[in-house]
Structure 1
Amino acid sequence: MTICIVIVAYLFGSISSAVLICRLRGLPDPRTQGSNNPGATNVLRMSNKATAAAVLLFDVLKGMVPVWGAYKLGVEPLHLGFIAIAACLGHMYPIFFNFKGGKAVATAFGALAPISWIMAIALIITWGLIVKFSRYSSLAAIVTVSLAPLYTFIIKPLYTNSVTMLSVLIIFRHRDNIMRLIKGKEDKV
Structure 2
Amino acid sequence: MPSTLVPSPVLWCLAAFLCGSIPFGLLLVKLAGKGDVRAHGSGNIGATNVSRVGGKALGAVTLLLDIAKGFLPVFLAKKAGVGVDLLALLALAAVLGHVFTPWLKFQGGKGVATALGVILAADASMMLLPMGTFLLALWLTRHVSLGSILAAAMVPVQLFLTRGPHRPLAELLGQGPAPVLPWAALAILVIWKHRENILRLQAGTESKLWGAKKEDAHVQG
TM-score (norm 2): 0.78
Q: Aligned equivalents of 2:36 and 2:146: distance in 1?
A: 24
Q: Offset of 1:130 from its aligned partner?
A: 1.9
**Distance change (3 Å), C-alpha of 1:43 and 1:133:** farther
Which residue of the partner structure matches residue 72 of structure 2?
Answer: 65
Alignment of 1:31 with 2:31, yes or no, is: no
Higher-helix-fraction structure? 1
Q: Aligned equivalents of 2:139 and 2:29: distance in 1?
A: 26
Which residue of the partner structure matches residue 12 of structure 1?
Answer: 19
Runs of 4+ in 1 over 6 A off after TM superposition: none
Give, as a single letter, the amino acid of the residue that structure 1 aligns with 2:206: E
Give, as a single letter, the amino acid of the residue that structure 1 aligns with 2:90: I
Q: Aligned equivalents of 1:49 and 1:23: distance in 2?
A: 15
**Bigger shift: 39-48 or 157-166?**
157-166
Alignment of 1:84 with 2:91, yes or no, is: yes
Q: Offset of 1:176 from its aligned partner?
A: 1.9
Which residue of the partner structure matches residue 5 of structure 2?
Answer: none
Matches within 5 A, 1:27-176: 27-155=34-162, 156-157=169-170, 158=172, 160-176=180-196
RMSD (Å), alpha carbons: 1.8
Q: CA contact under 8 A between 2:29 and 2:53: conserved in structure 1?
A: no
**Bigger shift: 154-163 or 24-33?**
154-163
Q: Offset of 1:146 from its aligned partner?
A: 0.5
Q: Aligned equivalents of 1:73 and 1:118: distance in 2?
A: 20
Give, as a single letter, the amino acid of the residue that structure 2 aligns with 1:92: V
Alignment of 1:178 with 2:185, yes or no, is: no
Q: Offset of 1:169 from its aligned partner?
A: 1.5
| Count of aligned pairs between the two proteins | 189
- Identity fraction in percent: 38
TM-score (norm 1): 0.90
Q: Aligned equivalents of 1:99 and 1:164: distance in 2?
A: 22
Q: Offset of 1:104 from its aligned partner?
A: 0.7
Structure 2: state its 5+ residue gaps. Answer: 1-7, 163-168, 173-178, 210-221
Give, as a single letter, the amino acid of the residue that structure 1 aligns with 2:66: D
Larger radius of gyration: 2
